[in-house]
Amino acid sequence: MDSLTHIALGACIGDAFAGRQLGKKAMFWGAMSQSLPDIDFVASIWSSTTEGLLAHRGFTHSILFALIMAPLLALAAERWHRPHNISLKRWILFFGVQILIHLFIDGMNVYGVGWFEPFSHHRVSYNWIYVADPFYSVWLGISFVVLLLLRGNHPKRKWWVEFGVGMSTIYLLYCGLNKIKIDNDVKDVFKKQQISYSNYFTTPTPLNNWLWYVVAENDSGFNIGYRSLFDRERKIDFRFVPKNEQLLKPVNNHEDLQKLIRFSKGYYAVQEWNDTLVFNDLRFGQMIGWKNPEARFAFYYFLQHPDENKLVVQRGRFAGWDKDALRSLLKRIKGN
């Protein structure tokens, strides 16, 4: 999830944990510990683009990192706030839960999380929710602001914590039910339209959980399309995208390419833009693909011009967005 959501969630949990003993300082400890795994952004300062892609949500998003950092943070907090009636064991539990919640939530979108680093490079991603979903974050944001404004001993603080965390959790469970329904619908569509596939995935389109992006892999490429929860017809208008692995022969030994393939989990397609080879990671969707089925992919990497690949994940996410694109998104969400 986005950084502001982690801060708000962590602060709410922090207030519930030790608001009575520490006042609003508990919100600080909660926000800081919930955000700690994202310290890996520092690696991008001295690493290449492809190294940064793998470093982000790598070791600092692992279970081992949580096991190491929880006791260290607990020792620091326990010493800082003496005298108090919070045991070291409770501090460790608090910080461990905060970091693990961060890891769990980040696993819900396509980027993937290295839960098992450094022992395994497998990235966990179960694609329940878009990386920034306002319908998840808004409840936490409201509670966070109210908790900042209320005095430390206000009797309503507990209610606002329960409101923010409770509503966001209910929405998260709702997203899980949506994921189950979409996957069932998509498998039915595959069968009816005789779409053969070896692997597939579904993931929400930007800023909502009702329109889903569908990718089905076969031997030569991918069928991509969109499915709304409100579609009445058991049909998806697929566009076929060839994988074009043969185009990679001139750069097959490049280290960047091997890292990109590992990062993409195999969901990639190669294209030629004029005289340039472009590596597309299909997991991140298209630029307003629900409006234009032929739209380029949001994640693209210039294999022969590595210096032109800054902000490779973010640069295409909202390219081409305007009022017309937003209207077309809302229209497509309503279903066919």
Q: Tokens representing 276?
A: 């340039």
* Secondary structure (DSSP) of 151-182: -TT-TTHHHHHHHHHHHHHHHHHHHHHHHHHH
CB of 295 within 8 A of CB of 239?
A: no
Is 300 strand, coil or helix? strand
Structure confidence by residue, pLDDT tens digits, 309-325: 666 666 677 778 889 99
Identity of the amino acid at 42:
V
Structure confidence by residue, pLDDT tens digits, 51-87: 888 989 999 999 999 999 999 999 999 888 877 788 9
DSSP state of 205: P
Q: Tokens representing 104?
A: 């769990």
The three-state (H, E, C) secondary structure of 224-245, written as one string: EEEEECCCCCCCCCCEEEECCH
Bond preceding residue 37 cis, omega within 30 of 0? no
Identity of the amino acid at 92:
I
What are the residues facing 214 on neighbouring strands?
202, 225
What are the residues facing 216 on neighbouring strands?
200, 223
- Domain extents in the chain: 3-174, 193-334
Residue-level pLDDT at 47: 79
Q: Tokens representing 226?
A: 């969109």
Residue-level pLDDT at 318: 78
The pLDDT mean for the chain works out to 92
pTM: 0.92
Q: Tokens representing 158?
A: 């507990």
Structure confidence by residue, pLDDT tens digits, 241-254: 999 999 998 888 88
Residue-level pLDDT at 306: 64
CA separation for the pair 36, 61 (Å, rounded): 9
CB of 330 within 8 A of CB of 324?
A: no
CB of 209 within 8 A of CB of 129?
A: yes
Please choose, from the candidates 48, 7, 47, the residue with its C-alpha nearest in 3D space to the C-alpha of residue 29.
Answer: 7
Structure confidence by residue, pLDDT tens digits, 122-181: 999 999 999 999 999 999 999 999 999 998 889 999 999 999 999 999 999 999 999 999
Please choose, from the candidates 30, 62, 21, the residue with its C-alpha nearest in 3D space to the C-alpha of residue 140.
Answer: 30
What confidence category does residue 303 fall into, taking pLDDT thresholds of 50, 70 and 90?
A: confident
Give the residue ranges of DSSP H helices in the chain: 3-22, 25-35, 49-55, 63-80, 88-106, 134-149, 157-192, 255-264, 323-334
CB of 57 within 8 A of CB of 112?
A: yes
Residue-level pLDDT at 92: 96
